[in-house]
C-alpha cells in the first residue's frame, strides 16, 4: 500500500427522494506517471490509481478508468440520483493491488 493515501468524499447528509446530488471525491495519492526520471536518470516506475467506482445500495453510479494523465491527488466530481435512503460505497483501486474504500450514508427528508 502506498503511503499517506487518504480518501475524502463530500456527500450531502440529506436529500429528497429522487433528487440529483453532486458528489465530490478526492484521494491523496502521488499518481506517479512512469514518465518521470529520478536524479540518476532512471525512470520512476508507474504507480497510480487505475480505477474508481461509486455505488449506491449496490447499484452503480459511475465507474472510471484512470490513466497516468490524471493529476496527483485525483479529484472526481459527478452526479447521482438518490431514490431512497441508503449508503454510497466508493472504491479506489491502486496499481499495487490495494483497494481504498470509503462509504457515506444519506437519509431522505
Q: How far is the CB of 45 from another protein (least distance, A)?
A: 13
**Which 62-81 residues touch another protein, going by CB under 8 A?**
62-72, 74-81
Say whether residue 9 binds another protein (CB under 8 A). Answer: no
Residue choice 8, 14, 20, 103 for contact with another protein (CB under 8 A): 20
Torsion of CA 98, 34, 70, 95, to 10 degrees: -10
CA distances from 69 to 1, 46, 57, 74, 86 (A): 21, 11, 31, 10, 33
Nearest of 49, 20, 19 to residue 33 by alpha carbon: 49
14 CB-near residues (< 8 Å, 6+ apart): 106, 107, 108, 109
Q: Closer to another protein by CB, 7 or 68: give it.
A: 68
Residue choice 11, 15, 27, 56 for contact with another protein (CB under 8 A): 56
Q: How far is the CB of 96 from another protein (least distance, A)?
A: 19
Say whether residue 107 binds another protein (CB under 8 A). Answer: no
Residues that bind another protein (CB under 8 A): 20, 33, 35-37, 55-56, 59-72, 74-81, 83
Amino acid at each position: 500500500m502506498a503511503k499517506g493515501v487518504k480518501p475524502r468524499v463530500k456527500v450531502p447528509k440529506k436529500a429528497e427522494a429522487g433528487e440529483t446530488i453532486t458528489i465530490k471525491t478526492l484521494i491523496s495519492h502521488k499518481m506517479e506517471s512512469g514518465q518521470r526520471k529520478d536524479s540518476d536518470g532512471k525512470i520512476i516506475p508507474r504507480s497510480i490509481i487505475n480505477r474508481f467506482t461509486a455505488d449506491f445500495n449496490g447499484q452503480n453510479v459511475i465507474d472510471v478508468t484512470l490513466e497516468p494523465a490524471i493529476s496527483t491527488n485525483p479529484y472526481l466530481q459527478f452526479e447521482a440520483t438518490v431514490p431512497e435512503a441508503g449508503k454510497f460505497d466508493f472504491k479506489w483501486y491502486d496499481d499495487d493491488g490495494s483497494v481504498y474504500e470509503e462509504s457515506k450514508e444519506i437519509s431522505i427528508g
